[in-house]
Amino acid sequence: MKHFSALTALAAALLLAGNARAQHTGSYDTTINFMGSPRAVSVYVPPTYNPANGYKLMIGLHGLGDTCTAYRDAVINARGWGAALPNTIFVFPESSSRNADYHEPAGSGNEAIIDESIAFARALYNIDTTDMVLQGFSLGGRAALRYGLNYPQKFKGLLLNTPAVQGVKEATNNSAYYPYNYANAPQVPIYIINGETDYLYVPPLDSVYEQLARNNGKIRHLLVPGMGHTLPAFSLMSDFQSFFNNPAHAGKDAEAVRLYTDKTNHCTAPVTAKLLVRNAGQDAITSVRYTLQNGTATQSATWTGNLPAFGHAEIPVTVTGLAAGGNAISVRIDSLNGAADTVTANNTAEATVYYQSTPDTSLNEGFEGANFPPDRWALEPSGDAYSVWADDNTVARTGQQSVGAFNTILIFDNLGRKEKLITPLVKVPTAQPVLQFDVAYNYHEYTPPYFTAVVDFADTLEVEYSVDCSATYQSLYKKGGSQLATFSSPIMNPLDINSCFINPGPTNWRTESISLAALSGTTPVNALFRFVYTSALGGSINIDNVAVRSTTAVADISGNNSFALYPNPATESVVLSGAAGKTVAIVNNLGQTVWTQQATSDLQTLNIAALPTGIYQVLISDTGAVVGRQRLVKN
């Protein structure tokens, strides 16, 4: 027995001596024999390392295009994490290549390297296995989120610096390729920090945060004003260790996560909104006193229930006093269980409620106003910041602006996502009603060597109508790809974002005139019209001059580009070019001629000072036939 003990002691001494030789301190680079080949690993060990003490461990995953050495130097030196965490050992494994993150390609072992890095650190250093953090930046942060949710028991916390979740579709687990196990969120504290000006990733990370909240996760989300897609300085997230130790705030703390309604448009009031609330404090919450603000009006109410630590609830909020159009509303949490909330910075959520009970008598929109969406129009975005319908002051059929959207394979996989733009509630004419709009569109086509064969990425535009205030919609029009295109050939092999957009000339616009006969009758019908742009990962679209009218009035709203009006919009007068010898008439939205004159010059001045503010059509006629039309905005 004594002999066995002596051998054990000798073996232990030799092992310690071997480890002592391997126990480098400071920054150094080495390799791990991984999957039959060496894999680079960069390490930082505090210079004061003492093997008698247990050390925290942080595994750091770099972003796409980086190296483990460069990432180690940025974290430890440039961002100051090493000095700020003197009792932490850092291990930074390299991904399989600069063009691969820690999940793909399949078979690369880019997730298994996380376990190998932990084993490497434990073999050389005295690691406190109860205090290991998985950290990552950009696509490394995305991999850390996925891996940490799959194996939450391995880590004390997940520190995610702008995890590059690839769009709202992926964030909401609508992409089978890269799912997140949100159900495991209660098992590991998750700290997310990203920049407010890192525009592509703000919506996906907001969606991730909501998913974690709905799964009762132990989460903290910090959005840093003015910060882009970069690794933050340690001082911006210096509380992450205390959060991992105690994820719940002391006392009572309710967080207003999101305020929303179940549908975009509302025609009856009051409207019921929902406030998603999570308990971020240690104490259970049995009542929430909140204040709703709608414009200058405020009203307070109390919700009662049972919300344990990290639990969530949807609180119904009754919204009254709505005006026609978009109403900016906010809800502020005032007190919990009859006492003050210990943290007030997270107590407010905001939303826009679209409401219109009385229909407009006409619709003629050219998107020339300063605000978007225009008054009483509504947006129903799919979530991502880049693909949404937006005003465009570089492309227009007439005037200076139109509305546009686009999709591309160069950003996120948003295949099938729908961007929706909804008109005001409008009274449809009873005689021969039509919906008209101008459209310019092109799709994307890639050829070898970018793909092995010719591949088209072609989005679709669908126009729908609703006569029950958006409860249901029926399709009126649907075109995509070459059928929708207004160019003779597609956009070929776009390799950067600028190449994805169209720049339509006069011949690249088409006026669509859609019969609304199904909505006509002796009694006027009130309807909403919805423009739905569905992503197939490729296309650029602009629409202009949306109108609902009777064909007994002005039959066409498209311009003839042999004539021009300028300035447009105008206040006192406007110059019409190219109409010498022709009859010029100005027609209002009701089809009534409100001004007429014979043009005697190729630069004819039209005095419009007496016309009411509004949108008109300028008709140019020759021997009784209309040969041109231009849209005029009178300010």
Alpha carbons 442 and 3: distance in angstroms, whole number: 84
370, 399 contact by CB (below 8 A): no
Mean pLDDT of 438-466: 97
Q: Checking DSSP bridges between strand 157-163 and strand 190-195, what pairing results, if any?
A: parallel
Asked whether residue 4 is domain-assigned, the answer is no
* Cα R_g (the chain), whole angstroms: 31
Asked whether residue 3 is domain-assigned, the answer is no
- 510 with 427, same domain: the answer is yes
Alpha carbons 166 and 175: distance in angstroms, whole number: 10
- 336 with 377, same domain: the answer is no
Could you give the C-alpha distances from 308 to 252, 259, 313, 598, in angstroms and in order?
A: 10, 21, 10, 78
521: part of which helix (H) or strand (E)? none
Alpha carbons 150 and 167: distance in angstroms, whole number: 20
HSE-CB of 618 using CA atoms within 13 angstroms: 33
Domain limits for position 168: 25-245
Asked whether residue 8 is domain-assigned, the answer is no
pLDDT digit string (tens) for 154-170? 999 999 999 999 999 99
- 512 with 620, same domain: the answer is no
Could you give the C-alpha distances from 297 to 206, 276, 391, 604, in angstroms and in order?
A: 29, 22, 30, 51
Alpha carbons 253 and 309: distance in angstroms, whole number: 9
- Mind giving me the DSSP string for 137-167? EEHHHHHHHHHHHHSGGG-SEEEEEEE----
Per-residue confidence (pLDDT) for residue 19, from 0 to 100: 47
Angle between helix 112-124 and helix 2-22 axes, rounded to 10 deg:
110
What is the percent of the chain with per-residue pLDDT over 70, rounded to a whole number?
Answer: 92
* Selection from 336, 335, 524, 319 nearest residue 431 by Cα: 524
Per-residue confidence (pLDDT) for residue 99, from 0 to 100: 66
- 457 with 433, same domain: the answer is yes
Per-residue confidence (pLDDT) for residue 185, from 0 to 100: 98
- 295 with 213, same domain: the answer is no
What is the percent of the chain with per-residue pLDDT over 90, rounded to a whole number?
Answer: 76
Alpha carbons 618 and 610: distance in angstroms, whole number: 15
Instruction: Inform me whether the pLDDT recorded for 258 exceeds 60.
Output: yes
Dmax over Cα atoms in the chain, in whole Å? 122
Handedness of CA 120, 121, 123, 127 (dihedral sign): negative
Residues near 19 by Cβ (< 8 Å), separated by ≥ 6? 51, 123, 124
Report the CATH number that the domain containing residue 42 is assigned in CATH: 3.40.50.1820
pLDDT digit string (tens) for 545-574? 999 988 765 444 455 556 778 788 888 888
Last residue of a domain, one of 481, 516, 550: 550
- 522 with 380, same domain: the answer is yes
- 340 with 230, same domain: the answer is no
If one counts the domains in the chain, the total is: 4
Alpha carbons 616 and 587: distance in angstroms, whole number: 6
pLDDT digit string (tens) for 369-403? 999 999 999 999 999 999 999 999 999 999 999 99
Instruction: Inform me whether the pLDDT recorded for 513 exceeds 60.
Output: yes
Per-residue confidence (pLDDT) for residue 104, from 0 to 100: 55
Per-residue confidence (pLDDT) for residue 306, from 0 to 100: 95
- 413 with 446, same domain: the answer is yes
Instruction: Inform me whether the pLDDT recorded for 594 exceeds 90.
Output: no
* Selection from 504, 493, 565 nearest residue 540 by Cα: 504
- 206 with 277, same domain: the answer is no
Structure tokens at 612: 């009411």
Asked whether residue 154 is domain-assigned, the answer is yes
pLDDT digit string (tens) for 47-66? 999 999 999 999 999 998 89
Helix or strand or coil: residue 500? helix
Could you give the C-alpha distances from 279 to 245, 256, 353, in angstroms and in order?
A: 17, 9, 26
Report the CATH number that the domain containing residue 343 is assigned in CATH: 2.60.40.10
212, 182 contact by CB (below 8 A): yes
